[in-house]
Structure 1
Amino acid sequence: MTEGQGAREARSARGAPQAEEAREAERAEDTPGTPDAPGERPAHGAHGRPPTAAEKWAAFKGSPFLPALVLVFILAVAAGLFAGSYTYTMADPTPRRVPVAVVGGTKAPPARTFVTGMEEALNASLVLTPYDTAAEAREAVNEQEEFAILRTRGDGVELDVAGASGASVAQVLAETTAKVGARTGVPVVVRDVKPLQEGDPRGLALFYISLAAVIIGFVGAIQLSVHARGLNPAERIAFTVAYSLLGAFAVAAVVDWLLGALDLPFTESWLILALTMFTSGMVFTMFNTLMGRWAMLPTWGLMVLLGNPSSGGAVSWPLLPSVLGHIGQWLPPGASVNAQHTAVYFEGHQHLFPFLVLAAWALVSCTVFWVYRHRHPGGRGRAPAHAPAGA
């Protein structure tokens, strides 16, 4: 190595750190947020500045925390409404208007005194309908048009109640009758001409099985939405039919064959439960199509908060607030209880109305779902057809 080459290498070695320091300084000047002097606050770049309120709200809306927070308040309100609706209708049932068949009129003093005393004690009116014979009055009870039969016998009266028409109504009438008879001095004889089955002394079993059909109906639809989202609309309806038929069969079999709580007309009760379950499931499916993830709100409100307390299953409609008593007959839970009640206790006197109500709700739900099926979350896309070989 020559002397000149060695000098150049030495100068290059001494200048390398200086050049590196110069390059670092240039990068520091070009980099946002680098402090220009000790203690000086660095300037923020595009990614370093604090987010604005609008950006924070947009991030919150896109996170899972917003729906979770909304659900916290919704569940709190739903809990209060649930407890309030059942307490309002069931905690202290009070008769408003009680239909009573009258044989022989109420002009006789014992009957007139008894009716006046009953209305004062019940703080309600007895809707008295005259019948010429006891057979006609009994037929009206079987048609569930009347809840009791009143007739005069000598110096006293006889009151025939129908526990199967409404256990709560029959209990209120029987208890009040004894008190009124003792207070007015009118001898009273009370008979239950249509008693409940031994396995259902309070008349609640039919309400429970109808409630099971309603809840399992829409819970099943929810589970299909979660675990079988790939089902296309026709397949979704078909599987709703399938779990409704099988689930209703299980409910009827457990209550009748396994527990022996009720002696059901099995096929009729099974199909009523299946129609109830299918209707409930399709109501949720309809709301899911229209409202997406919030479909549970109207379903729960319609079926559980409003429908079940006003169904007449736990408390007969004469003891319900009049508005609820009328509304309940037009909702699926009330229609299911009415149809099941007649099938079990009033054979040969089944009415078409509850079946029309259930069928109408099912048809409307299926129609809305089918018309707006493109909005329904889930389903499978159709694979495109393969192009011809020569294309």
Structure 2
Amino acid sequence: MSGTQHDEDAATADGEPRPGWTHTAKVLVSSLWFPALFFFGFLFCYLLAFHNPTPKDIRVAVPAPAASQVQGALDKAVPGGFEVRPVPGGDAALRRAVLERRAAGGYLPDAAHPVLYTAKAGGFEIEAVLQQVFTPLAERGGATLKQVELAPTAPKDGMGTSLFYLCLGLTIPSYIMVMMMLRATGLGRWKKVTTFVVSGAVMAVAAFYISLAMDCIVDRPICLLYMFMLSLAVSLTCYGLVPFVRQFFPGVAIVVFVLLSMPASGGAIPVEMVPSFFRHLHPYMPLGNLVDALRNEMYFDGVELFRPLLALSVWIAVGIVLICAGFFWERHRVKVARSGGDEELTPSDLEEAVQDPTFEMPQPMPVRASTHYIGASEPMLAGRVLDTGSQPLHGVLITVTTTDGRQLTRTRTDEHGEYRLTGLPVGFVNVIAGGPRRVPSIKRVYIKDGPVAHQDFVLRPRPQDPSPGGASATS
């Protein structure tokens, strides 16, 4: 007897089947993959990005004649931390460079009155680093550095991070909304898309005016459009991914829109102070592009908006393309299934297997027989349906009800005549098997946590139909 068969046949002293180690390993992997993803994601994305913010190539505008001298002094103080941008002219040119976002700060190295131009709205940490580095640089000449703030944040946004949390408050609910709408099997694809659009508009309006009431943002109503674009970018892309990544969708969405987007956003820590991997991601991720769009609109008179708005538009377009492609892909899958005898499979059935392990409660639902994948639910009830000649019956409808007749779920047998179900309540349930030209059979089965309940069926032909092999349909 093989080791696998030995595991399956092993039993405890009281006669109950004892799961083998392979089964236990599968259960643990299926149950713990999502927490493990979060654990390593936070370690390698958040902790790695935020544990030691270090300036890298922060652009500083300096009058052209003094550019090389200032660059040399900065390289000695913070090697690789600053990139001097020579500008023609003096005070006015430095101000323009900062306000047009061509530089994070400006430095006028006047021997008697050195001036540092900063923009707190561009990043509180960058402003602090500029003060820390340029103050001793000016004092070497015996002068006192004067700081001029060109772009202060909103009155109640002391740390300059309100925009980040505002954008985060639009991103995560947009993902969760997709997860919840997958459970709304009574709604079709386009009704769900309409829900995403309407909900995105409502969230944008609510988030903007609540933040405005807190006095932590600036009153620029055009920002409502940018916020709406982010919600669409996340929700449409997430929904479009579902048919293609299937049970891995929660993990894929969390990695893309949370674990990678947040460190690369520049909202909590400026991108000039995080590892290069996240700096390179910044121009492409939706969260960071909304942060840039809101900052530039609210505090810098709408400069440098082309790239962030283009990126958000591309994400929306990708979501629309994925949704359309998924529509045709699922139609193809349903057509193939129906040609194989499964007349009741619908696109909604294909969405039922996608669950978010962070908040999904067990629901009665089918588990694909003869299939196991990471993220799948373990079956609680399984069985096989045969005809009187011991041949598997494909496409037999399996219905599970409570003892008082309330339907819990249903599925159909696969090509091996097998079925699996999960999310069932503990206690007795009725299991009904019925197929075309077959006499239905009903069994009462006790469901409990742990061991899988097994219930097989042998279905006889209806009396008026000839039995397999020409024999009469008598029991």
TM-score of Structure 1 vs Structure 2, range by shorter chain: 0.7 to 0.9
Quote the sequence identity (%).
19
Aligned runs of 1:128-277 on 2, under 5 Å?
Answer: 128-133=84-89, 134-155=91-112, 157-182=114-139, 185=142, 187-226=144-183, 228-257=184-213, 259-266=214-221, 268-277=222-231
Aligned to 1:338: 292
**Matched position secondary structure for 1:160:** strand
Q: Specify which structure has the higher proportion of helix.
A: 1
Q: With the length of structure 2 as denominator, give the TM-score of the two structures.
A: 0.62
Counterpart amino acid of residue 90 in structure 1 = F
* Offset from partner CA, 1:317-366 (integer Å, 9 cap, x none): 22122332121111111111111111111124251211111111111122
Q: 2:45 aligns with which of 85, 108, 113?
A: 85
**Matched position secondary structure for 1:105:** helix
> How many residues were matched structurally?
324
Q: Is the alpha carbon distance of 1:67 and 1:343 closer, same or farther for their aligned partners in structure 2, counting shifts above 3 Å?
A: farther
Q: Specify which structure has the higher proportion of strand.
A: 2
**Matched position secondary structure for 2:264:** coil
| Contact 1:272–1:339 (Cα < 8 Å) also in 2 | yes
Q: Is the alpha carbon distance of 1:82 and 1:206 closer, same or farther for their aligned partners in structure 2, counting shifts above 3 Å?
A: same
CA RMSD across the alignment: 3.1
Question: CA shift at 1:244, angstroms?
Answer: 0.6
Counterpart amino acid of residue 192 in structure 2 = R
**Matched position secondary structure for 2:109:** strand
Higher relative contact order (CA 8 A, sep 6+): 1
Aligned to 2:274: 320
Counterpart amino acid of residue 369 in structure 1 = I
Q: 2:62 aligns with which of 102, 111, 127?
A: 102
CA distance, structure 1, for counterparts of residue 78 and residue 113 of structure 2: 20
Question: CA shift at 1:163, angstroms?
Answer: 1.2
Question: CA shift at 1:67, angstroms?
Answer: 6.2
CA distance, structure 1, for counterparts of residue 58 and residue 304 of structure 2: 21
* Offset from partner CA, 1:173-230 (integer Å, 9 cap, x none): 112222444466454322222222221121100000111111111111111112x123
Q: With the length of structure 1 as denominator, give the TM-score of the two structures.
A: 0.74
- In the alignment, structure 1 residue 309 sits paired with structure 2 residue 263: yes
The gaps in structure 2 that reach 5 residues or longer are 11-18, 332-345, 351-475
| Contact 1:230–1:380 (Cα < 8 Å) also in 2 | no
Q: Is the alpha carbon distance of 1:79 and 1:239 closer, same or farther for their aligned partners in structure 2, counting shifts above 3 Å?
A: same
Counterpart amino acid of residue 216 in structure 2 = A
Question: CA shift at 1:66, angstroms?
Answer: 4.5
Question: CA shift at 1:51, angstroms?
Answer: 5.4
CA distance, structure 2, for counterparts of residue 219 and residue 316 of structure 1: 27
CA distance, structure 1, for counterparts of residue 314 and residue 64 of structure 2: 42
CA distance, structure 2, for counterparts of residue 328 and residue 137 of structure 1: 26
* Offset from partner CA, 1:72-124 (integer Å, 9 cap, x none): 133123223224412222232111101111125217xxx93x55443323232
* Offset from partner CA, 1:13-32 (integer Å, 9 cap, x none): xxxxxxxxxxxxxxxxxxxx
The gaps in structure 1 that reach 5 residues or longer are 1-49, 382-391
